[in-house]
Amino acid sequence: ATVQERVKEMLATIVEGKEQACKDYASKLDKYEGEVVLSKERIEKLISQVSDRDKSDVDYAIEKVRTFALAQRASIKDFEQELEPGVFAGQKLIPMVTAGCYVPGGLYAHIASAVMTVATAKAAGVENVIVTTPPRRDKPGEPSFEPDALIVYAAHTCGADTILCLGGVQGIGALRYGLFTGKEADILVGPGNPYVATAKRMLYGECGIDMFAGP
């Protein structure tokens, strides 16, 4: 109940305060004062920190997930059937316009979550795939500076259109309401802590979600 009340309050504050509210929560909760939207230069800098071995491992995972997702998409066909003269029924596959992918990265970097959400959305033909992942710090209490470099590599290589450095409820709120991007998420996917899971639960109905998934 305490988590629900807190999340409800935070989402209401984000609806009212928009980008600034997200920045305020990032500062208060994560001690993060940096830019929310990762620039091309910043992405390249973070990727340069990733070892060739780690890149190879992530590339392997991406290739397997993407191959399966494309096969899965190909197995579901558009069709139309004339049931009687002039009466038609069928199905048409229409990708969602915007997917918001939450990738945990505070205590542990969930690289697989970046691969499984972004690669799958791209295979489905989603127009805008936006990732948010929290900043990390070396020691508790220290300021946070950057998201996990390997998460950024995975999301970027999978084809993420925008990567945000925001965690928790503020990250989910930014995805749902199109903050910093102008593109509201039609679906929210990815695991997270109780606050992230509760935010997804509360927003279900306004948009789609995958499931209530913990880390």
Name the pTM for this structure. 0.90
Look at residues 138, 135, 103, 137 and name the one whose alpha carbon lies nearest to residue 118.
103
For 25, half-sphere exposure in the C-beta direction (CA atoms, 13 angstrom radius) is 25
Kindly indicate the confidence band of residue 107, based on its pLDDT and cuts at 50, 70 and 90.
confident
Digit-coded pLDDT (tens) for 125-184: 999 999 999 998 766 666 668 899 999 999 999 999 999 999 999 999 999 999 999 999
Query: In the beta sheet, which residues pair with residue 147?
Result: 135
* 3-class DSSP state of 25: helix
- Sheet containing strand 128-133, edge to edge, reads 162-165, 128-133, 98-102, 187-189, 208-209
Longest dimension (CA), the chain: 71
- The confidence score (pLDDT) of residue 144 equals 64
Q: Are 130 and 99 in contact (CB under 8 A)?
A: yes
Mean pLDDT of 97-114: 91
- The confidence score (pLDDT) of residue 38 equals 96
Digit-coded pLDDT (tens) for 44-61: 999 999 999 999 999 999
Count of CB atoms situated within 10 Å of the CB of 89: 9
* 3-class DSSP state of 135: strand
**Which contiguous run of DSSP H or E holds residue 87?**
strand 87-91
- The confidence score (pLDDT) of residue 142 equals 62
pLDDT at 69 over 60: yes
CA atoms of 110 and 152, how far apart (whole Å): 11
pLDDT at 22 over 80: yes
